Amino acid sequence: MRVISGSAKGRTLKPAGAATRPITDRVKESLFDILAARVVDANVLDLFAGAGSVGIEALSRGARAATFVELDRDALNAIRANLQVTRLADRARIVRLDVFKFIRRPHPSPPPSPTGDGAYDLIYVAPPQYKGLWAETLREIDDSALLAPRGIVVAQIHPKEYTELALTNLELFDQRKYGSTLLCFYRKRT
């Protein structure tokens, strides 16, 4: 696992441990090719952050700030180590909290500081597989004010997990399959 592009290009990232499911470099590169310029100056939320690979890649490519939400101790240690090795810690915020508690708590809008809570331009969701957590997370985000008006939510799941979700404020607008990984892209309904 490494940083693919930007200011921390080529830096090797520490894995988060057996409890997490890392994104492959191939899928991560494809994701950021799709997101392209949307990442520059974005406020990013990395839920079920694992080693922080997606949020760190976003920071390396010019994101304004990234918030990493994770509960697992080994994963939190990996995020801290990876932010240090990439020298991106100054634009990062690590939150040790259950993802659902994080989503449900009050968030000021707009963010009071570059690393504060508020409306996010990119929310990445990569929970443990086969537990329905991705769908539950999307439903919670759908009922929250976390996503900026033109923001995107990306869910990383196994293709067999996918099911259509009845959401009020979000709509699926794209899907990309890479072997055993499916990326589902959501935005606010217009």
Q: How confident is the model at residue 174, as a pLDDT? A: 96
Tens digits of residue pLDDT in 21-52: 678 889 999 999 999 889 999 999 999 999 99
Residue 161 per-residue DSSP state = G
Write down the mean pLDDT value for the chain: 90
Domain ranges of the chain: 25-118+127-150
Q: What is the pTM assigned to this prediction? A: 0.92
pLDDT at position 77 is: 95
Q: Are 98 and 122 spatial neighbours (Cβ–Cβ below 8 Å)?
A: no
Q: What pLDDT is stored for residue 23 in this prediction?
A: 86
Residue 71 has pLDDT above 80, yes or no: yes
pLDDT at 108: 54
Give the lowest-confidence range in 13-22, 90-99, 153-162, 168-177: 13-22
pLDDT tens, 133-165? 999 999 999 999 999 999 999 999 999 999 999
Which residue type is seen at 125?
A: V
Q: What is the mean pLDDT of residues 50-66?
A: 95
| Cis peptide bond N-terminal to 110, omega within 30 | yes
Round to whole Å and give the CA distance between 134 and 148: 20
Instruction: Say what the pLDDT of residue 128 is.
Output: 86
Tell me which CATH homologous superfamily contains domain 25-118+127-150.
Answer: Vaccinia Virus protein VP39 (3.40.50.150)
pLDDT at 113: 37
Give Cβ neighbours of residue 190 (< 8 Å, ≥ 6 apart).
none
Residue of 161, 156, 163 lying closest to 178 (CA atoms): 156
